[in-house]
A = this chain, B = another copy of it.
Amino acid sequence: MMVRPINEKCPMSLLRHIELCNDYRPERFLPFRHSADRLGLIRKDNADTLRRFPEFFAVESDGVRFLAEGSFDELSKIIDDVTEQLVSDGVVAKWRYECFAVAPHWGAEPHFKLDRGAVPFFGVKAYGAHLNGIVHEDGALKLWVGRRSPKKAVAPGKLDNLVAGGLGWPHGLFETLIKECGEEASIPEALAKRSVPVGAVSYRMEVKHGLRDDVLFCYDLGCPKDFVPQIGDDELVGFELHDAHEVIALAANGDAFKFNVNLVLIDFGLRHGLITPGDPDYLALTTGIHRPFD
């Protein structure tokens, strides 16, 4: 792993990742509402696409309303039928065959579920769990990082956390983390269950097919020295153990990590004293990784 030295000619720029993950211009989006709740943010070009479903969507200058009423299952069926058309039209990239629940905020009852592929189109909030795999070795703090498959659609070949996964319906957050620990890195359940929730990062970022309005729940797991993660499914193709300071420097000095993983690493660096108040960006980092909700 090449790490450029940190000096005045090559300043740390962790803040750049926060700016990239929050590349969002409100004027390009419309609120997506159902009954009394805002559920998402739809880009105006995507909103126009929904005019072909006037029985289900009212596309107006101040927002898009989902007009259907019914049960969770009934609404989910309507959204699936619409998604089928949107995939045909190419405005939703593809079916992911994995569902996300759609609710106005964390802890609220979901109105319906939709395929993960349609999440950016409707700009609904998505949740993930990211795991920092920590090793204390020879007085140094080390971090396990994963290498993403070159076949991934998003951020192919980039570095990643030890484990990361989206919260699919109807699974729980910790359940998802434990499952992904097994699938992605062959972490035994008994070890995975020692993961500790340590906070969350949030960002809002325009992407090709719409918007990512994401929350990543962060977990730390102290790994035994003799534990070595093993490739499981085809999400990650390798693992490396690095000094945690080097990981932060690598994040600061380039784009080796998947875009949103940098936010999880900034949070890690702040919590573990790897980023210190002497950094003039310190406070911009502490607030920047926590985009407020609206």
How far is B276's CA from A271's CA once the two chains are assembled, in angstroms?
16
Q: How far is the CB of A219 from chain B (nearest CB, A)?
A: 9
How far is B196's CA from A272's CA once the two chains are assembled, in angstroms?
7
Kindly specify which of A29-37, A149-157, A282-290 makes contact with the partner chain.
A282-290
A287-B291, A290-B290 as given contacts; A277 in contact with B198, CB under 8 Å:
no
B198–A280 CB distance below 8 A? no
A292–B282 CB distance below 8 A? no
Contact of A173 among B197, B215, B277 (CB under 8 A): B277
Contact residues, A202-245 vs B (CB, 8 A): 202, 215, 217
A200–B293 CB distance below 8 A? no
A215–B273 CB distance below 8 A? no
- Quick one: CB contact mask for A248-277 with B, threshold 8 Å, 1 for yes? 000000000000000000000011110011
A280–B199 CB distance below 8 A? no
Contact of A286 among B199, B277, B283, B284 (CB under 8 A): B199
The answer to the question of A107 belonging to the interface, with a C-beta cut-off of 8 Å to chain B, is: yes
The residues of B that contact A108 with a CB separation of less than 8 Å are: 280
A106–B283 CB distance below 8 A? yes
Contact residues, A188-204 vs B (CB, 8 A): 196-200, 202
How far is B225's CA from A174's CA once the two chains are assembled, in angstroms?
32
How far is B125's CA from A180's CA once the two chains are assembled, in angstroms?
44
How far is B184's CA from A227's CA once the two chains are assembled, in angstroms?
43
A215-B283, A283-B293, A287-B290 as given contacts; A271 in contact with B173, CB under 8 Å:
no
B197–A286 CB distance below 8 A? no
Contact of A200 among B105, B174, B286 (CB under 8 A): B286
Q: How far is the CB of A189 from chain B (nearest CB, A)?
A: 18
Cross-chain pairs A/B with CB under 8 angstroms, 5 sampled: A106-B280, A108-B280, A174-B277, A197-B276, A198-B272
Please report A residues at the B interface, Cβ cutoff 8 Å: 105-108, 173-174, 196-200, 202, 215, 217, 270-273, 276-277, 279-284, 286-287, 290-293
Apart from A106-B277, A108-B280, A197-B276, list 20 A-B contacts with CB within 8 A.
Answer: A106-B280, A107-B281, A173-B277, A174-B277, A196-B272, A197-B277, A198-B270, A198-B271, A198-B272, A199-B271, A200-B277, A200-B286, A202-B283, A215-B283, A217-B277, A271-B271, A283-B293, A287-B290, A287-B291, A290-B290
